[in-house]
């Protein structure tokens, strides 16, 4: 599948990560997933993927200090429990959980149309 249709998914909970993978693959996207933001940052695919979908749980990992999204150069979709003014960066879209309907897919299709 074309790299432009690849989505990086970063979520600490494996069940949620697999659910996102399935939903995106059904929509025709290729998915590379990671439990840790540091793993995604080190992947060469992250720099050329359509975007990275990040669950807010990875930003508050117990394994270290709070993480930043600044090292990801492509657009980021942050899945958050509530809107937060503490996370800001160019190319950031925040979707609040629980996701409704095709919220995530609609944003991804918008990015792929650009």
Sequence ranges of the domains in the chain = 3-113
CATH ID of 3-113, from 3.40.718.10, 3.50.50.60, 3.20.20.150, 3.40.50.2300: 3.40.50.2300
Measured CA distances, 113 to 4, 39, 62, 106, 109 (Å): 11, 28, 37, 11, 6
Phi first, then psi: what are they for 76, rounded to 5°? Answer: -125, 135
**CA 88 – CA 65 distance, rounded (Å):** 18
pLDDT tens-digit series, residues 55-103: 998 887 665 555 678 889 999 999 998 766 556 677 889 999 998 889 9
Task: Give residue 60's pLDDT.
Answer: 74
Q: What is the pTM of this model?
A: 0.88
* Amino acid 89: pLDDT: 72
* Cβ–Cβ < 8 Å for 21, 63: no
């Amino acid at each position: 599948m074309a790299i432009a249709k690849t989505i990086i998914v970063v979520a600490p909970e494996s069940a949620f990560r697999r659910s996102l993978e399935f939903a995106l693959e059904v929509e025709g996207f290729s998915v590379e997933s990671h439990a840790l933001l540091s793993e995604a940052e080190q992947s060469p695919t992250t720099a050329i993927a359509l975007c990275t979908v990040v669950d807010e749980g990875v930003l508050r990992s117990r394994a270290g200090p709070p993480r930043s999204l600044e090292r990801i150069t492509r657009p980021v979709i942050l899945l958050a429990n509530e809107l937060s003014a503490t996370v800001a960066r160019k190319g950031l879209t925040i979707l609040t959980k629980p996701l409704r309907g095709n919220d995530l897919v609609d944003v991804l299709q918008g990015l792929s149309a650009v």
